[in-house]
Amino acid sequence: MEIIEKAPAKINLGLDVMHKRPDGYHELEMIMASIDLADWLTFSPLPNKQIIIQTDNGFLPRDRKNNIYQTIEIMQNAYHFNNGVHVTLKKNIPVAAGLGGGSSDAAATFRGLNRLFQLGASLEDMVPLSIPVGTDVPYCLYGQTSLVRGLGEIVEPLTCPIPQCWVVLVKPKLSISTPKVFAKMQLEELHHPDIVALKSAIEAQDYFEMTKHLGNSLEAYTMKRYPVVQSVKNKMLAFGADAAVMSGSGPTVLALCHKHSRALRVANALKGFCDEVYLVRTINK
C-alpha cells in the first residue's frame, strides 16, 4: 500500500518581529499563504520501525537531522504503532530558501502516516506534536492563508484566502541560516509592517490594497548583508511587479502580479539574473 501527499511551499506576505521573549526566542506575527510549488512524498509501510528516506536531492540528510525522520519517530511514539516507514521524496521546493520546504514535508508526513496507518488523528491532535519539528510546521498542517503568531505555533486561518494572483519567486545562489539572522539582528533597526492592515485587505479580497501592506521585518538585516537580495527586489519592481517582499529570513524574494502577462514578463527578465526563478499561483484552499 502506498500513500502520496503533496507538500506545498509557503510564503510570508507579512512578517513582523515583535520582541524578544524571556525564553530567548522572538515573538512573531505573520500572514502566511501557500503556493503551487510543491514537494511530493510517497509513503509505504516497513516492518520493525525501520525508517528509510529516499530523495532526489543529494543535499538533504536522511537521518534524525531530517524533518521527515523526526516526524515519523514522533508519530511512532505518540500512536504506538510498530511499523516502519519508507518515504520517497521528490524535492521541488528550494532548500534553505525561506519557503518552508522542510516544514511542509514534515506536515505532509503527519498527514501521510495518519492515512497510511489509519490513526484517526485530527488536525488539533497533530499540531501540538508538530511544534518541536519546526515553527512553520503548524501552519503547513493548516495549509491555508492564516495569521500566525507566537513562535509559529498559533495559527488562525483567515475568513478568506489570499486573492488569487501570480507569484514570481527568485532565489539567489546563497543560503541563509534563520537562527543566525535572529541571533544577530537588532530589534531597534527593524521595520514593522502593518499586519492588521494586511489581514483586513485580504479578508476584504482587495488585491491592490493587500499589495500596499506586504512587509518583512527581517529584510533590513538580510538585505544589508546580502545586497543581491535587495537587487532582486528592486529588479522585480522595475520590471512591473505589483509588489515584492522577501519570504521568511530569505534569500528568496517573491513578487505578486495580478495578470499572468505581467508575471511572465517579470519572471523572464529575472532569469537572466538568477538561475532559480519560479512562476506559480497561490493556492485558494
Residue 104 assigned to a binding site: yes
Asked if 249 contacts 218 with a C-beta cutoff of 8 angstroms, the reply is yes
Is 233 among the residues known to form the active site? no
100 is in an annotated binding site: yes
Which residue among the candidates 10, 91, 171, 233 is catalytic per the annotation? 10
Q: Is 106 annotated as a binding residue?
A: no
Is the peptide bond prior to 227 cis by the omega test (within 30 degrees of 0)? no
Instruction: Round to whole Å and give the CA distance between 151 and 26.
Output: 7
Dihedral pair phi/psi, residue 115, rounded to 5°:
-75, -45
Q: Is 78 annotated in some ligand binding site? A: no
Question: What is d(CA 100, CA 139) in angstroms, rounded to the nearest whole number?
Answer: 10
Q: Of residues 105, 136, 233, 242, which has the active-site annotation?
A: 136
DSSP symbol at 136: T
The distance in angstroms from the start CA to the end CA of the chain is: 28
102 is in an annotated binding site: yes
98 annotated as belonging to a binding site for a ligand: yes
To the query of whether residue 39 is one of the catalytic residues in this protein, the response is no
Beta strands in 120-269 (DSSP E): 146-150, 154-157, 166-171, 215-216, 243-246, 253-257
Distance CA 112, CA 105 (A): 10
94 is in an annotated binding site: yes
The one-letter amino acid at 284: N
- Active-site residues, by number, are 10, 136
- Residue positions in the annotated binding site for ATP? 94-104
